[in-house]
Structure 1
Amino acid sequence: AKFAAYLGIPHVPHAGDLAIFCGAIVGAGLAFLWFNAPPAAVFMGATGSLALGGALGAIAVVAHHEIVLGIIGGLFVIEAMSVIIQVFFYKRTGRRVFKMAPIHHHFEQLGWSEPTVVIRFWIIALVLALAGLSTLKLR
């Protein structure tokens, strides 16, 4: 509470447990990235990614930062919206908006190499993360 008052941010009671949970997720994510370096030895799959997204959503709800999660995870929102738009538009008109959905495959179909798509999406994710962190003091 003292640090929150000093920093001018809202205090979340019992956030110590939440910090331990977040630390465990960060550690597991770093280990995953370590072993996922090319050539990948470990794959996350749908179950792991959905569990990770659910955990991040629960953390955002407990910390009262739901909108910030949408900003920081904006790239994932764009990926999901590209699929929704593609399916909706294709069922209505029979034509496609993107060459392929999700949108990162669209860029690959345009001729971008996979490392180019990945690095540009990292840049977008970094900018969105900084934008989300900049909203910390806004309430």
Structure 2
Amino acid sequence: MEDINYSKNYLLGGAIACSQADGGFQEGGKGISTQDLRYLDPSWTPEQIEDKHQNNPFSQEEFDQALKDQGTKYYPLRRGIDFYHHYKEDIKMLAEMVIAAFLTSALVAVILGGKGAQRSETKSSSPQSMVSVSLQIMD
């Protein structure tokens, strides 16, 4: 593979949506999101998953069942990749890969002055804490 010489001002970055990564279901004041209610049967094929999530919205019965079931077996998006509990290690790994810019939808809320950020500031994985850790690691 040929080396590419980028300008020294070039920042390699990435972004994720909290629904892909978050975890921490109902912790730290997070509350329930629509992603937390998405049902996924482990026996489904990729085509069945796509059909369910793109073409068949929640029925009231499915919605009520999702609210009753507090597990993650059929609701795996409740744990995502559990960034909520592992953000320090994840951000450190990004820095080791020379990722200089990283954005999550939780961090967008901080950048916009906290609008929409509903996490408890006492929780170590609050968006403000993620910004602080990011700046320390990537400095």
Q: TM-score if structure 2 supplies the norm length? A: 0.23
Structure with the largest fraction of strand: 2
Higher helix share: 1
TM-score by length of structure 1 reads 0.23
Between the two structures, name the one with larger relative contact order (CA 8 Å, sep ≥ 6). Answer: 2
